Amino acid sequence: MDETTLDKIAEIICGNGEQYPEYGSSSKLTEFFSRARLSRFVHDGTTRQRWVLACLKDCSREELAKVLRRLASPLEYAGNKEKIHQALKALNEATYVEGFQIKLDGLEPKFEKIEISFDAETAVELKPLSPPDFINLGLESGIGEILLSRWTEAQRCIDAEAFLSSIIMMGSLLEGLLLGICQKKPFEVNTCSSAPKDGKTGKVKKFHEWNLAEMIDVAHQLGWLGFDVKKFSHALREFRNLIHPYEHMVSRSNPDKDTCGISWLVVQAAVNDLAKSIK
């Protein structure tokens, strides 16, 4: 593999960024290579990423395969779905230029050849997604119809270039679905470590007392929302707060067509992910 690809893989192993599953300290780097059955690599205290890159460059083709398989293995992350997703996403972005990707067959990482294309004309167009079947999600009676109505109304606001109204509608849609899922899965939600607690009693708050930020964080911790969707959902939440005129005045923020387009795609992805989590 090209040295730039190896350097990107070294960055993933070191965990130099919150987009990567785990931070690799000196001892953890040595342990990682040992788990990849390459115990001859023992970190010598030099710059972490530079050292890992040197190790990768010293590997044979078969040894590099061992490193990639271990880095993509669910066993490396104790089955944590979010970390597994982060690892696979980062790895496949790094190896795209090499013409292959890594997929999981159960617990076993498998290499798969892909066709490389950087032709701008073949770029995938981001298109609106279809709404999930809100009515048959098993939520509280009547809420499914309301959520479907708000999905449709959000799209109408965008089409009419009522951008602030569309952002507010998107936020209410996401919050409504999150609350509905919390009520449907109370045990999982209430036992989640990030569930908000009352400052006086120390008990988990009643669901109607939760704010949108708290519901997003819990949904992420439970694996219902991916890391990227979580971050974009918080950004949407901040725009949604423009419903308050004084907040709008202080922030001096005015959602435009591009803001709404991106936010709508994020909300649709989040809503569809949440719908899948309760089916």
> What are the pLDDT digits (tens) for 168-194?
899 889 888 999 999 999 999 999 998
- Angle at which helices 257-277 and 163-184 pack, to 10 degrees? 10
202 backbone φψ class: left, alpha, beta (φ>0; ψ -120 to 50): left
Give residue 45's identity as a one-letter amino acid code.
G
Task: With 0.95 as the threshold, say if the pTM is over it.
Answer: no
For residue 130, the model assigns a pLDDT of 73
Q: Helices in the chain by DSSP H: which ranges? A: 3-14, 26-35, 48-57, 61-72, 81-95, 143-159, 163-184, 186-190, 212-221, 227-240, 245-251, 257-277
Which neighbouring-strand residues pair with 101?
112
Res. 247: pLDDT tops 80: no
pLDDT per residue as tens digits for the range 122-132 = 433 445 667 77
- The C-alpha torsion from 22 through 24 and 28 to 29, rounded to 10°, is 120
Enumerate domains of the chain plus CATH numbers.
Answer: 3-113 (no CATH), 134-277 (1.20.120)
Strand partners of residue 33: none
